[in-house]
Amino acid sequence: DADVTQTPRNRITKTGKRIMLECSQTKGHDRMYWYRQDPGLGLRLIYYSFDVKDINKGEISDGYSVSRQAQAKFSLSLESAIPNQTALYFCATSDPTAGAWGYGYTFGSGTRLTVV
């Protein structure tokens, strides 16, 4: 099994629908992240969580919410999907004990979301 698993891998949804993207990890890392990837814009941080009781907004949190159900699970929700949320979404974990400054990031394979 993959260290970081994202479901679904692909999803097409209609404008206005609520959708949840799920992420689970077997790395045992406390820190988890949701990123959005758009062509030419790299990855932009949506939300991050440093432990189960800690949730923080990232660069582009508007229109999104998250839930950290357990150390291993971090879900991203779009309350009312809109077409400009069409993108590739990545979940990641990190281990701050792996070394200085961002070593030990592990990414999932991504969820491709299309809002029509």
Partner 1 sequence: GDSVTQMEGPVTLSEEAFLTINCTYTATGYPSLFWYVQYPGEGLQLLLKATKADDKGSNKGFEATYRKETTSFHLEKGSVQVSDSAVYFCALNNAGNMLTFGGGTRLMVKP
Contact residues for partner 1 (CB under 8 A)?
4, 31, 37, 40-45, 48, 90, 92, 94, 96, 100-103, 105, 107-110
Q: Please, which residue, 42 or 53, has the CB nearer to partner 1?
A: 42
Q: Please, which residue, 38 or 79, has the CB nearer to partner 1?
A: 38
Q: Please, which residue, 40 or 53, has the CB nearer to partner 1?
A: 40
Considering the complex, what minimum distance in angstroms separates the CB of residue 80 from partner 1?
27
Considering the complex, what minimum distance in angstroms separates the CB of residue 31 from partner 1?
7
Considering the complex, what minimum distance in angstroms separates the CB of residue 28 from partner 1?
16
Considering the complex, what minimum distance in angstroms separates the CB of residue 74 from partner 1?
15
Q: Render the burial of 58-82: b for 16+ CB within 10 Å, e for the rest.
A: beebeebebebeebbebbbebeebe
Q: Please, which residue, 18 or 25, has the CB nearer to partner 1?
A: 25
